[in-house]
Amino acid sequence: MRQIRKAVIPAAGLGTRFLPATKSVPKEMLTIVDAPIIFYVVKEAVDAGIEDIILVQGRGKTAIEDFFDTSYELEDRLAKSGKNELLDQLKKIRDMANIISVRQKSPLGLGHAVLCSRNVVGDSPFAVLLGDEIMMTPTESAGDKNTTQTLTSVFAETGSSTVAIMEVPLAETSKYGIADVSKISESLFKVNGLIEKPKPASAPSRWALPGRYALSADIFSILAEGKPSLNGELQLTDSLNVLAQKNEVLGSTFKSLRYDAGDRFGYLKANIEIALSRPEIRDELHAYLKELKLQNFGVSPR
């Protein structure tokens, strides 16, 4: 079967870049405007036709499961007070998808997190969406596919594992898995190999992996035989490199706006830019930002 209906969302990280907030609140539950980061990730998967969401979580992450569960007291209060619009929003969230929770008992890397989902995914192809990467497609209403849908469509057509790729400045290659690619078309590439966070001098290209994948179950046996590498962790990139030597792996560009919400500056950008896309607050926020710029940076009004 080439239709992907399952997605794995690794969400076991400690969120140290957001301490002290993440001491008691999972990083994935930090809000972007009025919804947690994880909501945007799950919505992208659901909009791409995903039915089963496998959350790979660590200790202290039950708030994520609770968010997608029924809140009897709150829903009862909203119903009795006639706040039906808010009540409908909560019902839609709890019914978005079938949420399955898997525990990653030790923080042993992204590859290990994906491997933890093996018994649930089975032999099915599946998507992987990093839990702190937000992909927004502003023109979805015009028919553009979101990033996960782009990848799952390529997988359905070719049967080949497909990773999202984007060009980054050479100086930033050490932040990402980097792919050595050969061009097939304007948006599709053959992945010849991958390397995790290379220094600019040894990077095979500027094509980076921003955290969206459509994979065959073949990856599990490779992960199971993999050895820890960078930072003593089992890297998904290393296993994808092995897969690329055995089978065809493709790289696809995407049209979505991407925000690294696991980074403080990326998180702030996501809040501002997504808020500016909301008609109900866009004008007020735009006016405030313009005023703030004039007041704090001594810019003369035109």
Q: In whole angstroms, give the CA distance from residue 111 to residue 239.
A: 8
Q: Give domain status of residue 215, yes or no.
A: yes
Q: Give domain status of residue 25, yes or no.
A: yes
Cβ partners under 8 Å of residue 279, min gap 6 = none
Structural domain range at position 30: 6-262
Return the pLDDT at 143. 59
pLDDT at 141 over 80: no
Can you name the residues that pair with 126 across neighbouring β-strands?
215
Is-above-0.85 flag for pTM? yes
Q: What is the mean pLDDT of residues 12-31?
A: 83
Which of 193, 129, 185 shows the shortest CA–CA distance to 158?
185
Q: Name the domain count of the chain.
A: 1
pLDDT at 222 over 70: yes
pLDDT at 139 over 80: no
Q: In whole angstroms, give the CA distance from residue 215 to residue 221.
A: 13
Where residue 250 sits, what CATH number does that domain have?
3.90.550.10
User: What are 41-100's pLDDT values in tens digits?
Assistant: 999 999 999 999 999 988 777 888 888 888 878 888 888 888 888 888 888 888 888 899
Q: Give domain status of residue 267, yes or no.
A: no
Q: What is the mean pLDDT of residues 19-35?
A: 87
pLDDT at 214 over 90: yes
Q: Give domain status of residue 277, yes or no.
A: no
Q: Give domain status of residue 283, yes or no.
A: no
Return the pLDDT at 296. 64
Q: Give domain status of residue 95, yes or no.
A: yes
Q: Give domain status of residue 129, yes or no.
A: yes
User: What are 142-161's pLDDT values in tens digits?
Assistant: 458 899 999 999 999 999 99
Q: What is the mean pLDDT of residues 178-184?
A: 94
Q: Give domain status of residue 209, yes or no.
A: yes
pLDDT at 169 over 60: yes
Instruction: Tell me the two tokens of residue 285.
Output: 């926020």
CB 234 within 8 A of CB 228: yes
Return the pLDDT at 298. 56
